[in-house]
A = this chain, B = another copy of it.
Amino acid sequence: MSSLTSAQTATSHQDLDAHLHRYGQQARAASRVLARATTNDKNAALKAIYQAIESGTARILTANQLDMQAGRDRSLEAALLDRLELTPARIDGMLAGLNDVIGLADPVGTITDLSYRPSGIQLGKMRVPLGVVGMIYESRPNVTLEAASLALKSGNAIILRGGSEAFHSNQAIAACISEGLASSGLPAAAVQVIDTADRAAVGLLITMTEFVDVIVPRGGKNLIERISREAKVPVIKHLDGNCHVYVDAEADLAKALPICINAKTHRYGVCNAMETLLVNQSVAAEFLPQAAQAYQEKGVELRGCERTQAILSGINAATEQDWYEEYLAPILAIKIVEDLDAAISHINQYGSHHTDAIVTENYTLSRRFLNEVDSSSVMVNASTRFADGFEYGLGAEIGISTDKIHARGPVGLEGLTSQKWIVLGNGEIRQ
């Protein structure tokens, strides 16, 4: 009996392997067609998808109700159900996002730096699609359309693997995308949504180096860590956002206060929210009571170092662990630091290299902060909340990278492309 089970498992693994292999082969073939599609071709397909989603709204909402019911039956927590739910307004939002992508400039084919070398050849760089993107994500079904539209616009095929809790919603959105692709003449395999709930599919997708050029995971830290650990395909990943604001001795406190309040309280559950406030010792006694009052009005729990506690009596102590924490909640750690060097050291040691800001009027210190803080976004006199694709003008973003390789920070269309060298000659040969 046990040997029979093991044989069955082997067969089913082989089946799954062959199944994923087909996705990969079809995506690779579609990517060749997409790579030579014109901007007009791609926009026409995106517009056809827009129409299909618009006229398929009822079907998508019905499918989503199946997922919602299954989620309630499985007692998914309220936050997860909220992320899972689609409403007519949310579908309008998805369509508006798709419209934005249609309006974005197409990076593919852009040629830069075309100049002559001493040998006589003219050398430049051409922006080209990566090829096939593998996207692994949880709960939010709107990601299906968002990721597909960014991949298409940048000339990439995409294989999508959503969470099982959003299975019906994702399949319904995928059906609309296929319909749009079919009517536009681009290959249907340009966008494929994996139709098996088998979790082993993820393990296969992230190791198919011959068919997949990059993996973009979106979801909880556990998912992303597991994918990073097991992937053979390069991963554009976003781990965490432990962001800082440093209020310098020469800060204009009239700028510092709104920045610090905005960075912490504009939204709590986002990766670019401030989690630790660093304050120069020379302005702490003046600044911290004002800031604390504003935070307490918003219901933010403060946790301070000893010197902070001496100024803000009654607040909790921050432990060593607090400096590492991404709260994603109305909690703020506060530390008084001696100078810029101490602030930079703290950020580079405890931070997550995501987004960090200084508030200062000092020219030299602002430049040092920009140069020396090792984060994907470094800011002077601005709220960390600006670190996202929309604010940076990328349009939508496929993710925010906390890696240094390839793409760093918000990743839009350009992050889904690469550059190849082009050489224009007139019969030159190497001497």
The CA-CA distance from A418 to B376 in the complex, in Å, is 10
Shortest A102–chain B CB gap in Å is: 20
Shortest A237–chain B CB gap in Å is: 11
Shortest A153–chain B CB gap in Å is: 17
Q: Quick one: copies of this chain in the complex?
A: 2
Are B121 and A386 in contact (CB-based, < 8 A)? yes
Give the residue name and chain of the B residue nearest to A401 (CB).
Answer: B418
Give the chain B neighbours of A379 by CB distance below 8 A.
Answer: 121, 422-425
Give the chain B neighbours of A425 by CB distance below 8 A.
Answer: 379-383, 386
Would you call A186 an interface residue if the criterion is a C-beta within 8 Å of the partner chain's C-beta atoms? no
- The contact of A424 among B234, B380, B387, by CB within 8 Å, is B380
Give the chain B neighbours of A123 by CB distance below 8 A.
Answer: 392-393
Give the residue name and chain of the B residue nearest to A345 (CB).
Answer: B32
Q: Which of A85-93, A176-184, A255-263 contacts B (4 or more CB under 8 A)?
A: A255-263
Q: Which of A10-18, A19-27, A402-410 contacts B (4 or more CB under 8 A)?
A: A402-410
Are B255 and A117 in contact (CB-based, < 8 A)? no
Are A262 and B430 in contact (CB-based, < 8 A)? yes
Convert A348-385 into 0s and 1s, putting 1 for each residue whose CB lies closer than 8 angstroms to a CB of B.
Answer: 10000000010000000000101110111111111101
Are A372 and B423 in contact (CB-based, < 8 A)? no
The CA-CA distance from A376 to B420 in the complex, in Å, is 5
Would you call A428 an interface residue if the criterion is a C-beta within 8 Å of the partner chain's C-beta atoms? yes
- The contact of A259 among B380, B424, B427, by CB within 8 Å, is B427
- The contact of A255 among B368, B406, B426, by CB within 8 Å, is B426
Are B406 and A405 in contact (CB-based, < 8 A)? yes
Are B404 and A409 in contact (CB-based, < 8 A)? no
Are B232 and A234 in contact (CB-based, < 8 A)? no
Convert A410-422 into 0s and 1s, putting 1 for each residue whose CB lies closer than 8 angstroms to a CB of B.
Answer: 1000000011111
Shortest A387–chain B CB gap in Å is: 7
Q: Which of A39-47, A65-73, A124-132, A299-307 contacts B (4 or more CB under 8 A)?
A: A124-132
A391/B119 contact (C-beta < 8 A), A36-B372, A380-B425, A423-B378 known = yes
A213/B374 contact (C-beta < 8 A), A119-B386, A427-B381, A430-B385 known = no
Would you call A250 an interface residue if the criterion is a C-beta within 8 Å of the partner chain's C-beta atoms? no
Give the residue name and chain of the B residue nearest to A410 (CB).
Answer: B421
A232/B229 contact (C-beta < 8 A), A425-B379, A425-B381, A428-B386 known = yes
A421/B376 contact (C-beta < 8 A), A121-B382, A429-B385 known = yes
Shortest A49–chain B CB gap in Å is: 24
* A interface secondary structure, majority: mixed
Are A427 and B255 in contact (CB-based, < 8 A)? yes
Would you call A254 an interface residue if the criterion is a C-beta within 8 Å of the partner chain's C-beta atoms? yes
The CA-CA distance from A50 to B387 in the complex, in Å, is 43
The CA-CA distance from A234 to B236 in the complex, in Å, is 11
Shortest A368–chain B CB gap in Å is: 8
Give the chain B neighbours of A128 by CB distance below 8 A.
Answer: 374
Give the residue name and chain of the B residue nearest to A430 (CB).
Answer: B385
Would you call A312 an interface residue if the criterion is a C-beta within 8 Å of the partner chain's C-beta atoms? no
A405/B380 contact (C-beta < 8 A), A36-B371, A123-B393, A262-B430 known = no
Shortest A89–chain B CB gap in Å is: 21
A377/B429 contact (C-beta < 8 A), A372-B35, A405-B214, A406-B406 known = no
Would you call A266 an interface residue if the criterion is a C-beta within 8 Å of the partner chain's C-beta atoms? yes
The CA-CA distance from A405 to B423 in the complex, in Å, is 21
Known: A36-B372, A252-B427. 13 other contacts (CB 8 A): A36-B368, A119-B386, A121-B386, A128-B374, A130-B405, A213-B404, A234-B403, A259-B429, A262-B430, A377-B420, A379-B425, A386-B423, A405-B406
Question: What are 26 sample pairs from A and B whose C-beta atoms fall under 8 A apart?
Answer: A35-B371, A35-B374, A117-B393, A121-B386, A126-B370, A128-B374, A234-B234, A258-B427, A259-B427, A377-B420, A377-B422, A378-B422, A379-B422, A379-B424, A379-B425, A380-B423, A381-B428, A382-B426, A382-B427, A382-B428, A385-B430, A386-B425, A387-B423, A391-B430, A392-B421, A404-B418
